[in-house]
Amino acid sequence: MTSYNKNYIEIIGAKVHNLKNVNIRIKRNSFTVFTGLSGSGKSSLAFDTLFAEGQRRYVESLSSYARQFLGKIEKPAVDHINGISPAISIEQKVNTRNPRSTVGTTTEIYDYLKLLYARIGKTYAKDSNELVKRHSHTDVLQFLGKISKDERFLILAPCGEENRSISWIKSLKIKGYSRLFYKNEIVSIEDIGIDQKTEWNKLYLLIDRFAGNEFDEDETLRLTDSIQTAFYEGHNKCSVFLYQKGSYKSFNKDFEHNGVTYIEPSLHLFSFNNPLGACPKCEGFGSVIGIDPELVIPDKGLSIYQGAVACWKGEKMSEWLDQVVLNAEKTSFPIHKSYASLSQEEKEQIWNGTDHFHGIHDFFKFLEQNSYKIQYRVMISRYRGKTPCPECEGTRLRSDTRYIKVGDRNINELVNMSISDLSAFFNRLRLSEFEENMCKRILSELRFRLDYMLDVGLGYLTVNRSSNSLSGGESQRIQLATSLGSSLVGSMYILDEPSIGLHPRDTKRLITVLRKLNKLGNTLIVVEHDEDIMDEADEIVDLG
């Protein structure tokens, strides 16, 4: 072998496919465009020669144990290639076999969102939107420090559901307690009459009585002790009764609010690939097999009267249409308006029915109930398809995650935003200093990835978008964005027409991204026709 210049990758005598003994030198760490007519062999040179040899040498360098899993890669038809680097090809292929894979998982944006929510997500009650948290005795002390100076208050242990019996009262007597608090009055434990009418939820064990909002050291000790006793006797619950206000304030050591237990944020809870986090209905796929609205109403330009509902045709089934037409007036449903121009409420009427006519869902329920008849089974199968999961609305996560928020948004709302909106959300997000410190890294990783997605012109995608629904070009640009994120250096990136499907404005941004990848210390080989990209290249190899 002759000596060669280390600054170049040399291809000598390439004969793959229709290449005729091609000799080429490519400058390392440069940005080179391969161009030429279709059939000129530019892809044969880039992918089937350079990339194939890069891969082969990589596999050869592995241990024999690892090699047995990869199989033998044939040497491409070329005499010599010198100075080749590890090769990474970014092709226009949608290469995902995992149906749960999304834009968020491939770009790792979702991984960082999960971390963020697990770390600083706050849970809000379903009914009142109040913050759900575990209380400790310090929360009670803090509360008491803020009440009015001349207030008198009681420290109480509520009677939990598990205690609602005479034996509880007896056990309290044995422990030496002497007073209860029932319907806002103190009663001696000897005098309380327990019968059918006892309102247990208004019964408390009186632990201690206090006044004021300033406590010296001894008082603080006694108060702390009483609060802890109340939590103990109240099975993790403690209440304070304020005399002047005549009101109760309750505290809970469990992750609970108004009797509803919530799941505390954790990484698994936000993973739709994990049984804890996946929506139980669709198992984390985001869609279920059901009646596909697109098949039921294929032409939204038609009115209901004109037959927009495709399954209400034919002699027998048109009876369903007739009952709508005959009764529509009673609910002033506009049967002559095109389906597309119906309001959301009117669309719901035609699907769910009204007091005066049956809807599409009733129709399919009828078919299900009579599915022992073959014609009904056939009918159902004709309108079956993938529909967004009704339980999680396509977000793939169990519904409990909806109550956990960062900056007034839950994770489901974020994954359904476009990347541009999400980026704007994070630019606006204001956190407390504590939270900011807790997730400084997470936020910078998130912003970094969102920026790269914007740079490659994919700001319109949502994080929740399925990878297998992307076009080849979109898939390629996501790979490009993730390559930038990984900051791998000293590699040879080979790209296949990355400008395809891009708006000229986005091509400019793409060029910036390609340059960044190159500046990181990588060799860039791009098979391309676009003039803007060719103008930017350090070298052009025209295969004629």
Query: Which residues here bind Zn ion, judged by CB under 5 A?
Result: 279, 281-282, 389, 391-392
* Nearer CB in complex with Zn ion: 113/453: 113
Cβ–Cβ < 8 Å for 526, 34: yes
Q: How far is the CB of 359 from Zn ion (least distance, A)?
A: 23
Give the position of tokens 């008491």: 144
Cβ–Cβ < 8 Å for 449, 485: yes
- Alpha-carbon distance 348 to 47, whole Å? 53
Q: How far is the CB of 114 from Zn ion (least distance, A)?
A: 17
- Alpha-carbon distance 226 to 213, whole Å? 16
* Nearer CB in complex with Zn ion: 395/483: 395
Contacts of 519 (CB under 8 A, 6+ apart): none
CA atoms within 13 A on the CB side of 145: 9
Name the DSSP class of 200.
Answer: G
Give the position of tokens 């929506």: 279
Name the DSSP class of 342.
Answer: S
Q: How far is the CB of 281 from Zn ion (least distance, A)?
A: 5
* Nearer CB in complex with Zn ion: 44/464: 464
Cβ–Cβ < 8 Å for 534, 33: yes
| Integer angstrom CA distances of residue 59 from 4, 72, 73, 409, 525 | 24, 8, 8, 46, 21
* Nearer CB in complex with Zn ion: 10/393: 393
DSSP code string of 367-423: HHHTTTSHHHHHHHHHTEEEEE-TTTTTS-B-GGGGGEEETTEEHHHHHTSBHHHHH
| Integer angstrom CA distances of residue 168 from 162, 171, 259, 346, 503 | 9, 5, 21, 56, 75
Q: How far is the CB of 396 from Zn ion (least distance, A)?
A: 6
Q: How far is the CB of 404 from Zn ion (least distance, A)?
A: 17
* Nearer CB in complex with Zn ion: 284/353: 284
Q: How far is the CB of 392 from Zn ion (least distance, A)?
A: 3
Angle between the 440-455 and 109-120 helix axes, to the nearest 10 degrees? Answer: 150
Give the position of tokens 């002759």: 2
Strand order through the sheet with 492-496:
87-90, 492-496, 523-527, 31-35, 539-542
Q: How far is the CB of 355 from Zn ion (least distance, A)?
A: 31
- Alpha-carbon distance 183 to 338, whole Å? 61
Tokens of 273: 């690939």
Q: How far is the CB of 119 from Zn ion (least distance, A)?
A: 25
Give the position of tokens 């399954």: 311
* Nearer CB in complex with Zn ion: 172/282: 282
* Nearer CB in complex with Zn ion: 281/509: 281
Q: How far is the CB of 391 from Zn ion (least distance, A)?
A: 5
* Nearer CB in complex with Zn ion: 34/117: 117
* Nearer CB in complex with Zn ion: 392/514: 392
* Nearer CB in complex with Zn ion: 123/412: 412
Q: How far is the CB of 132 from Zn ion (least distance, A)?
A: 23
* Nearer CB in complex with Zn ion: 139/393: 393
* Nearer CB in complex with Zn ion: 283/451: 283
DSSP code string of 8-27: EEEEEEE-STT--SEEEEEE
Strand order through the sheet with 185-188:
185-188, 179-182, 203-211, 152-158, 237-242, 247-252
Name the DSSP class of 322.
Answer: H
* Nearer CB in complex with Zn ion: 89/401: 401
Q: How far is the CB of 286 from Zn ion (least distance, A)?
A: 6
Angle between the 440-455 and 504-519 helix axes, to the nearest 10 degrees? Answer: 130
Q: How far is the CB of 386 from Zn ion (least distance, A)?
A: 12
* Nearer CB in complex with Zn ion: 235/281: 281
Contacts of 201 (CB under 8 A, 6+ apart): 158, 159
Q: How far is the CB of 105 from Zn ion (least distance, A)?
A: 16
Cβ–Cβ < 8 Å for 76, 52: yes
One-letter identity of residue 61 = S
Q: How far is the CB of 401 from Zn ion (least distance, A)?
A: 11
